[in-house]
Structure 1
Amino acid sequence: MSVYLIARVRIHDKDIYSKYTAISARLVAEHGGEFVARGGPSFCMEGAGFDGRLVIVRFPSAEQARAWYESPEYVAARAIRQPVSEAEFMVVEGAA
């Protein structure tokens, strides 16, 4: 069953963060993931809202999402992202 990785990210240094996005996009594809939303404009319809970057990635399975997140290549990419941002990554099963 497909799963969706939902990331909320507050970026503190866009220049360094752009190095992370260049690497992570390739790794997502290599692990069978597909971007559904990738930091485009958004707005809140109810609740407190979020003013950072929102990303949604569809993976064929939870196992593939976990394999991507735990891969040595993505661990190295995370090391670029983490000092210059604050992030929450969640995975939720799809409806079908």
Structure 2
Amino acid sequence: MKGNFKVGLGMLVSFGLGAAAVVELHAQAKPPAYVISQIDVTNADAYAKEYVPLANKALAESGQKRLVSGGKTISLAGDPPAARIVVSVFESMEKAQAAYTSPAYIEARKIGDKYGKLRIFAVEGISQ
């Protein structure tokens, strides 16, 4: 009887651990969000000194991983891109939205808007 109890208890514990693992894996399966920023800078010195440090700090604290920041950009079709392009990735669309609506980023953006025209949008990625 003790043997059956141990086997049954072991199966129950294994089932519980398996269910918890499935829930955890499902939670991680949210698709990433890619944020693309097109920036026409009107005052490069002020933009770099006043806006960039504040924006970088606010977004890094929100989980941003920057993939592209400036660099050489060419047009493959259509209108040429803005002078500066930034591409970032966040764990989810919700985290991207939270980052760009955070009080710290909103304050930084007030400064950024003085020194450039920003167009920022997010695209939901494909779950891997």
- TM-score, normalised relative to structure 1: 0.92
Verify the 8 A CA contact 1:16 1:80 in the aligned structure 2: no
Q: What is the aligned counterpart of 1:11 among 23, 41, 59?
A: 41
Larger relative contact order (Cα-Cα within 8 Å, sequence gap ≥ 6)? 1
Report sequence identity in percent: 29
Count of aligned positions: 96
Give every structure 1 segment of 4 or more consecutive aligned residues whose post-TM-superposition deviation is greater than 6 Å.
none
User: Considering only aligned residues, what root-mean-square deviation do their CA atoms show, in Å?
Assistant: 1.1
Structure whose CA Rg is larger: 2
Q: 1:82 aligns with which of 97, 113, 117?
A: 113
- What's 1:26 paired with? 57
The structure richer in helix per residue is 2
AA aligned to 2:116 is S
- How far the C-alpha of 1:80 sits from its partner, in A, is 0.6
Long gaps (5+) in structure 1: none
Residue 73 of structure 1: CA displacement?
A: 0.7
Query: Residues 30-45 of structure 1: matches in 2 within 5 Å?
Result: 30-45=61-76
Q: Is the 8 A contact 2:59 2:100 kept in 1?
A: no
Does 1:58 pair with 2:89?
Answer: yes
CA distance in structure 2 between the aligned counterparts of 1:39 and 1:23, rounded to whole angstroms: 17
Alpha-carbon contact 2:38-2:82 (below 8 Å) kept:
no
**Greater strand share, structure number:** 1
In structure 1, how many angstroms separate the alpha carbons of the residues matched to 2:79 and 2:98?
A: 32
The residue that corresponds to 1:46 in the other structure is 77
